[in-house]
């Protein structure tokens, strides 16, 4: 079980990202976290994955506060918590099999284990036939499935997905969500962060809504509780913000 | 542990290979550094050989009056040997001096004949005194001249070479200092350039590094490929620099025109260095050279990657 207790994160320059967040995630639960960008979703994911440290509060995984973790425990924690990103983060010069195997090699698993576990995971995610392909040879949806397979191969108790459908067409996005549901059915806790209202509607599970760094609703079997036009407006703003920041990035490069 | 070793080693080789010309440039710089350090070492050691050789030939000669008894000369010998600055004292009797002279000038008939005509031994009993340090000859000469035996001594003749030895000593000293400064400067430059090469590799691999962190790779696991890369740079550089230094000393430095590069030393001493010191000690010179190369490579890598790994969490 995962529990966040009074978690706040304030970035340098007094930029608050999360303010006094508290919630629990039960074992084997499928939790969706929704909110527009800037609401604190990514920050929350980074805290759960121990990429960032909260300014205050506790984050408990099975009773242990990961905020207090030393280096070694952080590395161990990341092996036990699978994570999937919007931009897949695959290694372009490794094929599908090698990309998945990489996560096992890094954890110090033997060649025999790699040879046994990787095909199993590829089978579950439906990638067996693509094992020899390189990332540029397969579709975005397939690439995201490779990322999911990589996140699963170390048999994590928790899988965190940060906007996994953000770069995909609706159909591929739906396939990814189905993969996540399937994984959840096998007994892995799944935390899905997204602003994709339709997706969350289809999943129809527990939904935590974040707004301006605060939890504004937490309902089981809840629908995306914002008004449709408001959501659309937010999404539009969201896209605008994203292109702006991308343009800025391009300029700075 | 063994797995990490082989996996990171493989990754390190791949970095090295993928870098292509960058690897070649880095290796060249480390190799040049090692080459210059090697030549400096060889020059300093050759100069020391030369210095020892000359030191051996220099001494103070105290010529006693012809009527001094052997007993008195031996007493003087005992006395002089007690001086702190004195290394050894050798007694050369009148007869031995004559013999030595005859032998050394065996070819010179005029000298031989004139000696026969004199019919008496014109040589004086002599004490040949050697100092520990060439700079002490002057002092020893003064001490001998002021001793209780000064009445018996005809002349004290200390070699004019002692000045040459002094300046040679100073020369070697300053050579050692220049060599050290040059070596350190080059080593720093080599580290900086290797550091940069590794940084460029790391930039090319930043995505890999990010993903490694993501899936829970330890700092060590991320660091090792770059350390291997550095080791490889150093190792190959040493393997280039050592034969190059040898060829340079054996075929280039030994020629007459090298006087500018190697003041005071001549080909004999370089040759002596190669034969007596280099070949006899090759069993530790080779590992030492490889060690210095590896050290340069590894230090650069570790500095280069340090910042990336300072904190696993922001």
Please provide the average confidence, as pLDDT, over all residues in chain B.
80
Give the HSE-up count for residue B199: Cα atoms under 13 Å, Cβ half-sphere.
11
Q: Which value, in Å, is the radius of gyration of the alpha carbons in chain A?
A: 18
Residue B172 predicted with pLDDT over 90: no
User: Residue A109's closest chain B neighbor by CA?
Assistant: B3
Å between B290 CA and nearest CA of chain A:
30
Please state the domain count of chain A: 1
Interface A:B, Cβ pairs < 8 A:
58
**How distant is the alpha carbon of residue B23 from its chain centre?**
31
CB contact at 8 A, A170 and A198? yes
Task: Convert the pLDDT of each residue in B49-87 to its tens digit.
Answer: 877 777 777 778 888 888 888 888 888 888 888 888 888
Which residue of chain A is at minimal alpha-carbon distance from B14?
Answer: A93
pLDDT score of B272: 79
Spatial contact of A95 and A130, defined as CB atoms under 8 Å apart: no
Indicate yes or no: CB of B312 within 8 angstroms of CB of A50: yes
Q: Range of A230's domain?
A: 2-252
Residue B198: HSE in the Cβ half-sphere, 13 Å Cα cutoff = 32
**pLDDT at position A184:** 92
Across the interface, whether the CB atoms of B312 and A71 are under 8 A apart is answered yes
Hey, are the CB atoms on A89 and B312 less than 8 Å from each other?
no
Which tokens sit at A108? Answer: 């110090």
Which residue of chain A comes nearest to B205, CA vs CA?
Answer: A91
- Name every chain B residue with its beta carbon within 8 A of the beta carbon of A74: 312-313
Q: Which of A47, A55, A75 to mutate to test the interface with B (most CBs of B within 10 A)?
A: A75
pLDDT-derived band at B260 (thresholds 50, 70, 90) equals very low
* Cβ pair A78:B314 closer than 8 A: no
pLDDT of A233 reads 59
**CA of residue B164 relative to chain centroid, distance:** 20
pLDDT at residue number A20 = 93
At B14-40, the pLDDT tens digits run 878 877 888 888 888 888 888 888 887
Do residue A106 and residue B210 have CB atoms under 8 angstroms apart? no
Task: Let me know the angle formed at the C-alpha of B213 by A107 and A214, rounded to the nearest 5 degrees.
Answer: 120
Indicate which of B215, B217, B221, B311 best probes the interface with A, i.e. most A CBs within 10 Å of its own CB.
B215
Residue B32: is it exposed, middle or buried by C-beta count within 10 angstroms (0-12/13-18/19+)?
middle
- Please state which of the ranges A110-114, B158-162, B228-232 shows the lowest mean pLDDT: B158-162
Instruction: Please check whether residue B3 touches A, CB under 8 A.
Output: yes
Q: What is the pLDDT of residues A189-206, one digit of tens each?
A: 999 999 887 778 878 789
Stretch B284-296: mean pLDDT, rounded? 90
Band of the pLDDT at B262, cuts 50, 70, 90? very low
Q: Identify the band that residue B229 occupies on the pLDDT scale cut at 50, 70 and 90.
A: confident
Of B7, B216, B314, which is closest to A76 when you measure between CB atoms?
A: B216
Inter-chain CB proximity B210 and A89 less than 8 Å: yes
Q: Look at residues B208, B289, B197 and name the one whose alpha carbon lies nearest to residue B242.
A: B289
Q: What is the mean pLDDT of residues A207-226?
A: 78
CATH of the domain at A154: 3.40.50.300
Kindly report, residue by residue over B131-158, the tens digit of the pLDDT.
887 677 778 888 888 888 888 888 887 7
Chain A interface with B: residues with Cβ < 8 Å: 50-53, 71-72, 74-80, 83, 89-92, 102-103, 105-108, 110-111, 150, 154
Closest CA to A42 of A210, A159, A199: A210
- Which CATH number does the domain B59-158 belong to among 3.20.20.140, 3.30.70.3040, 3.40.50.300, 3.30.70.1290? 3.30.70.3040
Q: Residue A192's beta-bridge partner residues?
A: A32, A161
Looking at the predicted structure, is the pLDDT value of residue A80 above 80? yes
The whole-number pLDDT of residue B263 equals 47
Q: Give just the sign of the alpha carbon dihedral A175, A176, A180, A186.
A: positive
The answer to whether the Cβ–Cβ distance between B216 and A107 falls below 8 Å is yes
Q: Identify the pLDDT of residue B256.
A: 55
Long-range contacts of A114-123 (CB under 8 A, 24+ apart): A117/A153, A118/A153, A121/A149, A121/A152, A121/A153, A122/A96, A122/A97, A122/A149
pLDDT band at A138; cut points 50, 70, 90: very high
pLDDT value for B140? 83
Task: Give CATH 3.30.70.3040 domain extents, chain B.
Answer: 59-158
Assess B220–A contact: CB distance below 8 Å, yes or no: no
């Amino acid at each position: 079980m995962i529990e966040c207790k009074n978690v706040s994160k304030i970035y340098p320059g007094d930029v608050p990202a999360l303010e006094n967040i508290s919630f629990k995630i039960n074992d084997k639960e499928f939790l969706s976290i929704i909110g527009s960008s800037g609401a604190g979703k990514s920050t929350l994911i980074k805290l759960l994955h121990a990429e960032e440290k909260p300014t205050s509060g506790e984050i408990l995984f099975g009773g242990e506060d990961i905020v207090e973790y030393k280096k070694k425990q952080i590395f161990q924690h990341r092996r036990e918590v699978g994570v999937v990103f919007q931009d897949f983060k695959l290694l372009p010069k490794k094929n599908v099999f090698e990309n998945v195997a990489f996560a096992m090699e890094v954890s110090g698993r033997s060649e025999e284990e790699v040879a046994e576990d990787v095909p199993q995971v590829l089978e579950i995610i439906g990638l067996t036939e693509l094992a020899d392909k390189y990332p540029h040879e397969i579709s975005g949806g397939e690439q995201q499935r490779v990322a999911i397979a990589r996140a699963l191969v170390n048999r994590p108790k928790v899988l965190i997905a940060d906007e996994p459908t953000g770069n995909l067409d609706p159909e591929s996005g739906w396939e990814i969500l189905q993969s996540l549901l399937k994984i959840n059915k096998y007994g892995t806790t799944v935390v899905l962060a997204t602003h994709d209202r339709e997706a969350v509607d289809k999943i129809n599970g527990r939904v935590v809504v974040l707004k301006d760094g605060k939890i504004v609703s937490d309902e089981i079997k809840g629908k995306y509780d914002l008004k449709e036009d408001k959501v659309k407006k937010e999404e539009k703003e969201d896209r605008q913000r994203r292109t702006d920041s991308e343009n800025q990035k391009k300029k700075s490069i | 542990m063994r797995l990490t070793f082989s996996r990171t080693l493989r990754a390190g080789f791949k970095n090295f290979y993928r870098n292509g010309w960058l690897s070649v440039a880095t290796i060249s710089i480390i190799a040049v550094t090692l080459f210059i350090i090697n030549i400096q070492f060889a020059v300093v050691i050759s100069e020391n050989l030369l210095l020892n050789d000359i030191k051996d030939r220099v001494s103070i000669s105290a010529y006693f009056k012809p009527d001094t008894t052997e007993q008195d000369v031996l007493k003087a010998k005992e006395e002089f040997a007690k001086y702190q600055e004195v290394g050894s004292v050798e007694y050369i009797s009148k007869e031995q001096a004559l013999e030595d002279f005859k032998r050394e000038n065996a070819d010179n008939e005029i000298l031989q004949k004139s000696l026969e005509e004199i019919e008496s031994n014109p040589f004086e009993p002599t004490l040949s005194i050697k100092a520990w340090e060439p700079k002490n000859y002057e002092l020893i000469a003064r001490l001998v001249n002021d001793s209780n035996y000064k009445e018996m001594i005809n002349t004290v003749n200390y070699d004019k070479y002692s000045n040459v030895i002094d300046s040679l000593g100073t020369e070697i000293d300053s050579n050692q200092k220049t060599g050290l400064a040059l070596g350190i400067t080059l080593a720093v430059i080599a580290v900086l350039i290797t550091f940069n090469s590794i940084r460029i590799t790391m930039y090319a691999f930043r995505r890999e590094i990010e993903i490694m962190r993501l899936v829970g790779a330890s700092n060590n696991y991320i660091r090792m490929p770059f350390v291997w890369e550095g080791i490889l740079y150093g190792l190959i550089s040493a393997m280039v620099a050592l034969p190059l230094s040898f060829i340079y000393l054996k075929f280039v430095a030994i020629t007459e025109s090298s006087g500018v590069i190697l003041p005071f030393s001549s080909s004999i001493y370089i040759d002596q260095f190669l034969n007596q010191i280099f070949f006899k000690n090759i069993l530790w010179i080779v590992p030492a050279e490889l060690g210095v190369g590896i050290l340069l490579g590894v230090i650069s890598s570790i500095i280069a990657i340090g910042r990336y790994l300072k904190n696993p969490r922001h």
